[in-house]
Amino acid sequence: MIKVLDHGFARLVSYMQPAGVCVDWSGDLEIVRNARASYDADWRTGDDDKDAKLVNYLTKNRHTSPFEAMVFTFEVKAPIFVIRQWHRHRTWSYNEVSARYAELPEEFYVPEPAQITTQSTSNKQMRTTERHPRAERVHDAIYYHCENAFAAYKLLLEDGVPRELARGVLPLNTYTRMFATVDLHNLFHFLTLRLHEHAQYEIRVYAEALLELISPICPVAVAAFKEHRL
């Protein structure tokens, strides 16, 4: 598990693994044997260099289907505004906590003062890297506002207001939690966009965590991705 932001995390839950015993298996091999189906070739050469070369070639030339055979499930806890960006990636499968069903715990994101910068004017969607002159006070203002929102939420619940209506007062900084399943082709696409310097910092740190989590599973593919796609 990798901690992300003030109360979030990402962890690897499950991933594709061989049905039987497979000596020296790795996620890279999974890619290799799916790719070699196209050539009607023996999928296992026993030659690690040859395998690595193939994974490298496939990554560089953006082959798709061999990477779709390597699938991961992550558990992620993140602020709702981050999850909103995440859910725009429609090739993932999501199972998220339902605020109709369960009361959301009082956990919300407050950016550290170091992260509170100013609005960029050259790029209308971004923030600058220049610290806001009143970063501490902005931090506190966000904290108190979110705390108030949770106080209102709890009062509504205590008064018997339905969960599905009470949640409407919660801020977009509220943490939520999901299981998310994706194949490596679509994960690489996600990472290309969300590791980009134009991506919002708060989702970029989750993208970095995912890349770190899969690195030991398919090190060759990850290295090739870093070299050719980032």
Q: Indicate whether 125 belongs to the interface with its own copies (CB under 8 A).
A: yes
Least gap, CB of 94 to its own copies (angstroms):
6
Q: Indicate whether 149 belongs to the interface with its own copies (CB under 8 A).
A: yes
Q: Indicate whether 230 belongs to the interface with its own copies (CB under 8 A).
A: no
Token digits of residue 160: 């018997």
Q: What secondary structure, in 3-state letters, does 198-228 show?
A: CCCHHHHHHHHHHHHHHCCCCHHHHHHHHHH
CB 194 within 8 A of CB 181: no
Of 2, 6, 7, 75, the residue at the interface with its own copies (CB under 8 A) is 75
Task: Kindly identify the residues of this chain, within the stretch 188-227, that bind its own copies according to CB under 8 A.
Answer: 200
Nearest CA-CA partner of 110 in 65, 165, 149: 149
First and final C-alpha spacing in the chain: 24
Site string for its own copies, 104-123 (x = CB under 8 A): -----x-x---xxxxxx---
Q: Is the CB of 49 or the CB of 88 nearer to its own copies?
A: 88
User: Segment near its own copies (CB under 8 A), from 2-10, 45-53, 142-150, 204-212?
Assistant: 142-150
Of 2, 44, 73, 226, the residue at the interface with its own copies (CB under 8 A) is 73
Q: Is the CB of 45 or the CB of 120 nearer to its own copies?
A: 120
Nearest CA-CA partner of 31 in 69, 64, 61: 69
Token digits of residue 174: 């509220």
Q: Which of 11, 167, 177, 194 is catalytic?
A: 194
The rounded distance, in Å, linking the Cα atoms of 70 and 66 is 8
Distance of CA 25 to the CA centre of its chain: 25
Residues carrying an active site annotation: 194
